[in-house]
Amino acid sequence: MNEAGGPALPQPRKASEWMVALIEAPNDQDLRRRFDAWLSADPAHALDWQETSATFTALEDLRRDRMARTEPKQAPALGRRRTTVAVAVVVAALLAIFTPGLWLRLQADHRTSVAEQRTIVLPDGSSAQLAPESAIDVAFDDKRRHVRLLKGEALFTVNHQAGRTFSVEAGGVEIVDIGTAFDVRLRPNGADVAVLEGIVDVGAPLAMPAAQERLKAGDWLRAVAKRPIERGQMPLDDVASWTRKRLVVKNRPVSDIVDALRPYFDGMIFVRGAGLADARLTGVYDLAQPVEALRAIARAEGATVREISPWVLILSARQE
């Protein structure tokens, strides 16, 4: 239970998440004990916390200096707390944006920004349509055409060439084209693959058990390390529906849906509350209106959407 008597919140996984959690519940002793255990579990955790704390302190000092110059009267306690939470979330945003962004700039041949879609014509005339906040690395030679999906999602339309394979690698999953159009979405430790036309072979050596699957038009597959392969079929209109600014989901966790909305929102979205991230939904969401889509999720789950700032939203389960 948390300090307000509601259900326990999910375990934070990184320093910026711990920062927000500790500020929201400063008197929660169980949370403090779990934080101490996380901090001592790995030297990398301590370094992450040190860097996050330094950034937070600098931003908080800047805020206090500005308030001292522009607001001589003391702000109400609730207002100060909300501002402090907002500063902590700014830390999360800075760390999430700049650290991966630098790596992508060094690795990617092509990438997109928030809410941007772009079609890349590859050297062989094939194309890769990139979803928002996506990136690819392209390596072609006389015998092999290879693309790494570094971030996000892409729809590949491939020109068949005898004796010259076309493959896509994403999260340890290898997709080999046999003259087709297919969609790939990168996931933590894996990938989703859906075929629009033709045939692809998918190798998932890290799945449990390792798998080699052949997919045809309308087939989809999810391969994640150390987990069994998930496989099914979908209407062709639902394959890469993001290219038409539609998100079609069937019995998917809220966490998956929010992950799909994030590249269309120019800011940060956090999910808080026991069980909310794992709750499953079926529906169609407008990717051109990510905030409204998030509110639709909240209505369906009896949750709330809090706006910390115009670019920071928290989807929270209502406390029992």
269-289 confidence digits (pLDDT tens): 888 887 899 999 999 999 999
Between the two ends of the chain, the Cα-to-Cα distance in Å is 11
Highest mean pLDDT among 29-38, 87-96, 205-214: 205-214
**How does DSSP classify residue 209?**
S
Span 69-80, pLDDT tens digits = 555 555 445 455
From CA 159, how far away is CA 181, in angstroms rounded? 9
- Indicate the class that CATH gives domain 245-320: alpha beta
Which class does domain 109-236 fall in? mainly beta
Q: Does residue 290 contact residue 297 with C-beta atoms inside 8 Å?
A: no
**Is residue 229 very low, low, confident or very high in pLDDT (cuts 50, 70, 90)?**
very high
User: Could you give the CA distance from residue 313 to residue 258 in angstroms, rounded to a whole number?
Assistant: 11
Cα angle vertex 82, ends 38, 61, to 5°? 75
Q: What gap in Å lies between CA 73 and CA 62, rounded to an integer?
A: 17
pLDDT tens figures, 21-42: 776 677 788 888 888 888 878 7
Pairwise CA distance, residues 18 & 122, whole Å: 42
Amino acid (one-letter) located at 186: L
Q: What is the pLDDT of residue 97?
A: 47
In the chain, ranges of CATH 3.55.50.30 domains:
245-320
Token pair of 306 as six digits: 């809090």
Range list for CATH 2.60.120.1440 in the chain: 109-236
